[in-house]
Structure 1
Amino acid sequence: MAPNDPPSSLENSTPPPVDEQDPGRGTSTALNAVLGGVVGIVLSFVPLSPVLGGAVAGYLEGGDTNDGLRVGALAGLVVLLPLSVIGFFLLFLLGFGANSAVLGLLGLVALLFVTIYTVGLSALGGVIGVYAESEF
């Protein structure tokens, strides 16, 4: 055996099998969610923009309905973060500080509504995106 020859155990070895479920995809769920969230933020002036952001994330993710729901909801959380920070900052500038417990409660109810709206519609968009990717 020459010094540059491979060991005999590697001569007839085959490479490991390629993942058959997701060939050619190099993106992760987190990256797809961030890209969908950015689309949702950029298009925030359009009504129902979370659906569009979730659809982009779902289209990029592919897979089944559960994958679309998951990546769409994550894209909705990406959209929700800057919207809630900007919303609370604007409320603070308008004078709605911590002066009243009722205003604080109202702010929490508004945050709950915006969360359901954004994350729910993004999840719906994720399902639509997965469907579009599988059909077209």
Structure 2
Amino acid sequence: MAQGDTLLNALIGAVATAVLSGFVPFAPLFGGALAGYLEGGDRDDGLRVGVISGVIGLALSAVLFLFVVVVFLGMVLGGGAPMGFGAFGLVFFLVVAVVGAIYIVGLSAAGGWLGNYVKYETDIGN
């Protein structure tokens, strides 16, 4: 498609991640693989476009995460959740955010590398 157009390939991978994430486990791996396959070049290029795809996907996920946090804070402030949740809730949300970031960007990077590998080292890519 757009071999060498890193931003476009990363965006395609991020959209694939977003579409697949609702029903496919490890969706960032597949989105990164698509981006790495389309990117071409060497393994470093596949890895780089996978990371960029993961960061774009992370930004999209962060918007949803922020929405969930705002709704939950509304519940806490409105009295719909336990009031002793304060510090524990903050730590919980921070841990979920860090683990989510590692999951999305890490799997996208691995997928980018694998997508590039499939393109050049297997019969599937030819």
- Is the shorter-chain TM-score for this pair beyond 0.5, marking a shared fold? yes
Question: C-alpha distance in 1, partners of 2:63/2:21?
Answer: 15
Partner of 1:104 in structure 2?
Answer: 90
Is 1:96–1:103's contact at 8 Å kept on the other side of the alignment? Answer: no
Is 2:14–2:31's contact at 8 Å kept on the other side of the alignment? Answer: yes
Higher normalized helix content (fraction of residues): 2
Partner of 1:35 in structure 2?
Answer: 12
Question: C-alpha distance in 2, partners of 1:71/1:34?
Answer: 9
Structure 1 residues 26 and 55: alpha-carbon distance in aligned structure 2, compared to 1, 3 A threshold: closer
Q: Which runs of 4+ in 1 moved over 4 A?
A: 24-27
Is 2:13–2:32's contact at 8 Å kept on the other side of the alignment? Answer: yes
Q: What is the Cα deviation at residue 128 of structure 1?
A: 0.7
Q: Which amino acid aligns with 2:116?
A: V
Equivalent in 23, 38, 41 of residue 60 of structure 1: 38
Q: Which amino acid aligns with 1:130?
A: N
Q: What is the Cα deviation at residue 103 of structure 1?
A: 2.0
CA RMSD between the two structures? 2.0
Unaligned runs of 5+ in 1: 1-23
Partner of 2:68 in structure 1?
Answer: 90
Is 1:79–1:118's contact at 8 Å kept on the other side of the alignment? Answer: yes
- Tell me the matched-pair count: 112
Question: C-alpha distance in 1, partners of 2:60/2:2?
Answer: 29
Structure 1 residues 87 and 58: alpha-carbon distance in aligned structure 2, compared to 1, 3 A threshold: same
Question: C-alpha distance in 2, partners of 1:26/1:128?
Answer: 16
Q: What is the Cα deviation at residue 112 of structure 1?
A: 0.7
TM-score (norm 1): 0.74
SS in 2 for 1:59: helix
Bigger Cα Rg: 1
TM-score (norm 2): 0.79
Q: What is the Cα deviation at residue 25 of structure 1?
A: 5.3
Is 2:3–2:40's contact at 8 Å kept on the other side of the alignment? Answer: no
Q: What is the Cα deviation at residue 92 of structure 1?
A: 2.2
SS in 1 for 2:41: coil
Is 2:3–2:38's contact at 8 Å kept on the other side of the alignment? Answer: no
Partner of 1:13 in structure 2?
Answer: none
**Higher RCO (CA < 8 A, seq sep 6+):** 2
